A and B are shown apart, each in its own frame.
Chain A
Amino acid sequence: MNAIVSICHFCELHGPSVVFCTQAFRDLLDLDALTDAGALEILNSRNLEDEEQLKAEETNLWKYGRIHKETYARSKSTSNDTCVACRSFSHIQPGFISNDDSARVSYVSAQYPLQSELYILVREACIRSLSCEVCPGREGPIYFGDESRGHVVSHTFFLRDVQARGFQRWYSILILMKDKMLLLNSWPFIVRHLRQTITHLQENAYKVYQNEESKVSHRSLRSAVFMDNFRKQRVTGQPRSLSELVGEREVWQHLHSSFTWLLKAGGLRLQERLIEGPPVNIYIADGSGTGNGLSVRELYNTLGGSIFHRMMHHLLIGRQVILRGSSTKIISALIHSLQPLLPKHCYKAIQFSPHYIAGTSCNILGLQSLVNIPQAVLETGNLCLIEIISKKENSDIQDTYNKTNLPRTSSVINFNVKNKELETADNIKPGNTEATEAEDIVESIKKFTFKITDEGSLPSRPPQVLNRIESAVCNSTITPSALMIYISTVIYEWINKVKVWIHVQNLKKMSNSHPERIPSPVNYSQSVTRTSPIPILRGSTNSLSRSPVMPAFRSASPGTLNSVPQELTPQDERHQLLAALGSTEWDVPLLEFWAKNFNQISGQEVC
């Protein structure tokens, strides 16, 4: 994760100050030439005798992504007026380095970011996190930022301290990065792990607080001091360092390892991948066939909101819609006008058929008013039957309908053969109608009423696509051409989601056969946690301070704190995938339907 993690503190003497920063450095290909000289100076040059030796040593320690001497700037002036509370490293100890040899990354922790331009950003974020953008509950995570100043997730917290004013001190942990989407999508992950680190610090600080308070009550001491009128002897507000507050000398090492882990795991958690496939625009109806149909809004008005809604719901989740009536013209116009509402590969229409044709070969079917639908098909509930009834012969039709409904045992033999013939016939039948004819249709269609006479049961909630189409159609401020663009954009968006859906389903199939080789991106982070809890520790963990790695080191790292990896059930996985796609449970029928014939159109396997 390309980010800076830092700890900030509201010092009672100096106000908001940056105390500790962890950064990741990567080798860039062209940077090697720049840093070839290895003239890198991380150490303060005051320590003259050790300087040469340390420098040599340090170039060894810092393996990857060194920054050039010119860009490296530490504001030495600020280090002069820092007190013990706003300092993490003394002058002799410049910082910690961990090298990750497998990924060729060096994680460097120091008091300030090593590049001065980053220092400005972190410093500003620090002031904002402690003095401007304070979380309403005072403790807790908050997001702020913009393109120029970077995007920041800041988690403010208190540490108890007997000597502080108000008996607590303000700290915050910032994560600053340039990529807003990644940062916010990592929010649950980041907040969960920051909270672990913070709880750890707070528990330790509370122990110290109770220990000190048990010796002497500072609250009464403070009042007593006032009574004795010794107020010039300030007992409160003296700076204390973080390690003193939490009673832990190695606190900076722990934080270094936590933050390093966070940066590493945060980067592995989400990966951006380009999913290849045929270009999206081949899935979208080009609109050439709509010339002799109605516009979407006319269709909506003609059918009425309720019928439109039910019909579209059936269509979008892959049910068959049958239009039955006497006027071929009207039916073909209606079928044409449905075209822009579906992706190309999901629009299989037969405009006029003398027989019932099964839903596998066409999902929109025009039938003559007297054609029967086999009882078996009706019972499956996978269709929606719309009757088109002329207004004047309404009653007659009703009778004939009832009559024709009786002998429902007509056969569907040989429909496969006939189906092919019909399809070809359908293709031959050209849409060479003219604009005047379209207007005629608008007029003549008013003479008919529409009625859903038979339909299967629908899921309780329609897919989101339908809601969006309906709200756009009902919005009269959208012009017809804008409406068409909007609808095709919606379809475009969902085609992309279908692509990802198919991709993940394929990966899942493959990973079932070779589980360890291709983990699906969804459970990737989980597999990382499981196989190697603290990946960074496998690299050579060199701390410049040469302090021994304590046994507590391992237990304090967030990897092991999180050592209860839950097994992902397929249900969870599916939820995660749906959430990542911005879809919901009730979009699944649509996704599945759209995915069904997805690859047929291009004739090649996707990915």
Chain B
Amino acid sequence: MASYSQEDDEHYRGEFGAGYVVGSFPKDFVYGPDDPDQDMTLIFAPDQKPKILLMGLRRSGKSSIQKVVFHKMTPNETLFLESTNKMESENISNSSFVQFKILDFPGQIDFFEPSFDSEKIFGGHGALVFVIDAQDDYMEALNRLHQTVLRAHKVNPHLKFEVFIHKVDGLSDDTKIEIQRDIHQRANDELIDAGMEQIHLSFYLTSIYDHSIFEAFSKVVQKLIPQLPTLENLLNIFISNSGIEKAFLFDVLSKIYIATDSSPVDMQSYELCCEMIDVVIDISDIYGKDEGMQVPFDTESSSIIKLNNATVLYLREVSRYLALVCILREDNFDRQGIIDYNFLCFRNAIQEVFDVRTNHLAQLTNSTSLIQNSHTNGPTS
């Protein structure tokens, strides 16, 4: 009785399937070879998407961060999240710039155990975000940070390390600075003691109750965008020729900015721009004509908001998921035609940057198919 045909199987299910939930019962009785790596290859498809690994102790706020930034969950709802029990993987592929994978890890499990394939988890291009609960005693978290960084660096020296000092809302500004200094000091000291001073850790003070988490995530994502210098350069040229003070290139869905000009970012202007996007999306949501779209945002989307402090917020659509938000003085807005013209040039330039990438990808797929062809032809060529 080596094998059963399809009919047997149907029959079997007819016999037993009705009364019971079959769940994962194998489709056939011919138990083919088990492939324990199969599900892992599903999680880690062999594409070159950068990944962001969210790690940290339990209850440090990893899942909350992910939910708030990418799922529009309100911060209060995160109180009722259950603890993450497995590695959750999610693809973020909004535009051709913002393409990465987020892996949310349960804090209770040590993923460096030999039963996990650390090559697959930590390999590839990406960043490891370590979340520390600033309201808790962070000594244990620092120990874990140290171990995680050392071992992940061993597996993949190209991994970038970001430390989120999280839940800083409710702390006074002095305490925030003090905690950040302390954590920075200790973490780097330990790395130096371990002789790994070449590892660079970046620190951010974050909270899901304000925009700091979006800003920190923006910085993390920007490091994963290879075209960042080009984008910054384009923005610099654009603002200097249009009399604009500050310009952000936003990913509309997540409200993380993928590039800005080289002038320093202050938190207020970033928040202002975030809120402007919210306003535009909400208004279009209510009065927009196309209701089937995931985001009510298209090529016609643009908005001008004049503030009473003689400042103008100006939003234009760049591509399906990207928006340019500018802050400028009201006087400079007199010449809106010039700004619009410059914007068109800017948009074309961005498009060219896109095209380089798409062409490159097309070439890649061509060459791989060529390779496959030569394989099938055998060694005759």
Using a CB–CB distance below 8 Å, which chain A residues touch chain B? 10-16, 124, 127, 130-135, 137, 140-146, 164-168, 170, 180, 184, 187-188, 191-192, 219, 222-223, 226, 229, 231-232, 237, 464, 467-468, 493, 496-497, 575-576, 578-579, 582-584
Whether, in the assembled complex, B21 has its beta carbon less than 8 Å from a beta carbon of chain A, the answer is yes
Given the complex, which residues of A lie within 8 Å of B81, measured CB to CB? 165-166
Determine which of B16, B19, B170 lies in contact with A579 in the assembled complex, contact meaning CB atoms within 8 Å.
B16
Q: B356 contacts the other chain (Cβ, under 8 Å)?
A: no
> Besides A131-B109, A191-B20, A575-B15, 11 other CB < 8 A contacts?
A137-B23, A142-B24, A143-B23, A143-B24, A145-B34, A146-B34, A180-B31, A222-B80, A232-B135, A576-B15, A584-B7
| 14 A–B contacts, CB within 8 A, in A order | A13-B58, A124-B115, A140-B21, A142-B24, A164-B82, A165-B83, A166-B82, A188-B19, A191-B21, A222-B79, A237-B83, A464-B8, A468-B5, A582-B4
Q: Which residues of B contact A (CB under 8 A)?
A: 1-2, 4-5, 7-8, 11-12, 15-16, 19-21, 23-26, 29, 31, 34, 36, 39, 58-59, 76, 79-83, 85-87, 106, 108-109, 115, 135-136, 167, 170
Task: Write out the residue numbers on chain B whose beta carbons fall within 8 Å of the beta carbon of A219.
Answer: 80
| A11–B80 CB distance below 8 A | no
Taking a contact as CB atoms closer than 8 A, the residue among B20, B58, B85, B87 that contacts A192 in the complex is B20
Residue of B nearest to A14 (CB): B108
Are the CB atoms of A237 and B79 closer together than 8 Å? no
A11, A133, A497, A582 interface centre (most CB from chain B within 10 Å): A582
Is B108 a contact of A13 with CB atoms below 8 Å? yes
| Identity of the chain A residue whose Cβ is nearest the Cβ of B29 in the assembled complex | A582
Complex alpha-carbon distance, A237 and B108, angstroms: 13
Query: Judging by beta carbons under 8 Å apart, are B8 and A132 in contact?
Result: no
Residues of chain B contacted by A145 (CB below 8 angstroms): 34
Of all chain A residues, the one with the shortest Cβ separation from B11 is A584
Minimum distance in angstroms from B252 CB to a CB of chain A: 30
Please report the C-alpha to C-alpha distance between residue A80 and residue B79 in the assembled complex, in whole angstroms: 30
**Closest Cβ–Cβ distance, residue B114 to chain A (whole Å):** 10
| C-alpha gap A336/B80 in the complex (Å) | 77
Number of inter-chain CB pairs below 8 Å: 123
The residues of B that contact A143 with a CB separation of less than 8 Å are 23-26
Provided the pairs A16-B108, A141-B24 are in contact, do residues A131 and B82 lie with their beta carbons within 8 angstroms?
Answer: no
Residues in chain B near residue A168, CB distance under 8 A: 82
Residue from B25, B80, B83 with most neighbouring chain A CB atoms (10 Å): B83
> Which partner residue on chain B sits nearest A471 by CB separation?
B5
* Contact call B106/A15, Cβ cutoff below 8 A: yes
Report A-chain residues with C-beta under 8 Å of the C-beta of B11.
Answer: 578-579, 584
Contacts of B8 in A (CB 8 A): 464, 582-584
Contact indicator B4/A12 (Cβ below 8 Å): no
The answer to whether A15 and B23 have CB atoms under 8 Å apart is: no
CA distance A587 to B2 in the complex (A): 18
* Complex interface: chain A residues within 8 A of B5 (CB): 464, 467-468
- The interface residues of chain A lying within 8 Å CB-to-CB of B76 are 223, 226
A11 to chain B: closest residue by CB: B108
Tell me how far the C-beta of B242 lies from the nearest C-beta in chain A, rounded to whole angstroms. Answer: 44
Determine how close the nearest CB of chain B comes to the CB of A335; give it in whole angstroms. 29
In the complex, what residue of chain B is closest to A123 when comparing beta carbons?
Answer: B115
Chain B residues near A496 (CB, 8 Å)? 1
